[in-house]
């Protein structure tokens, strides 16, 4: 039975770093919503829903091939939870959900740092987006 590890949590808490480290240790496939955004940014008409759908579809393919997968995304909205639930129900992997957290001050400092680095993902990882995600996750 393939395994699925899902890293969730607010912006700026280093989900991606933790997911990437684990993927390297175990040599598993890693799907990161940030990486997808970088790839799909050339086509700005892509919605977040479509990015999540691409991530879920790719994970489904790998899980059906009995490959272990790590997902890295906030999953901050019910519609993204629904996509994940459907994936789990259809592929029946062994599932581990890791909800990452850290103090708000640290998260906001990390987000400000991304903005000053002019990161391509910075436009979607602002303090305003942090608070929006926080509101949606409560």
Give 98-117 pLDDT, tens digit per residue. 988 877 787 777 777 766 65
pLDDT of res. 107: 72
Distances (CA, A) of 33 to 45, 98, 124: 16, 16, 11
pLDDT of res. 31: 95
Q: Does position 122 have pLDDT exceeding 50, yes or no?
A: no
Residue with tokens 């829903």: 49
Contact 109, 11 (CB under 8 A): no
Which of left, alpha, beta for 92 (phi over 0: left; psi -120 to 50: alpha)? Answer: left
Sign, Cα dihedral of 29, 34, 38, 40:
positive
pTM of the model: 0.78
Query: What is the rounded average pLDDT of the residues 72-82?
Result: 87
What is 3-101's CATH topology? Answer: Rossmann fold (3.40.50)
Alpha helices (runs of H) in the chain, residue ranges in sequence order: 15-26, 33-40, 48-64, 78-91, 104-116, 127-137
């Amino acid at each position: 039975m393939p395994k699925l590890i899902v890293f969730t949590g607010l912006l700026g808490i280093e989900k991606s770093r933790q997911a990437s480290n684990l993927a390297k240790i175990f040599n598993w496939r890693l799907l990161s919503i940030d990486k997808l955004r970088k790839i799909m940014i050339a086509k700005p008409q892509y919605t977040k829903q479509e990015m999540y759908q691409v991530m879920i579809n790719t994970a489904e393919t790998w899980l059906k091939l009995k490959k272990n997968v790590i997902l890295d995304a906030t999953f901050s909205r019910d519609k993204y939870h629904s996509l994940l639930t459907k994936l789990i129900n259809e592929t029946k992997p062994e599932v581990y959900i890791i909800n990452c957290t850290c103090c708000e001050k640290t998260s906001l400092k990390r987000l400000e740092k991304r903005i000053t680095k002019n990161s391509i993902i910075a436009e979607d990882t602002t303090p305003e987006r942090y608070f929006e995600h926080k509101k949606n996750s409560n």
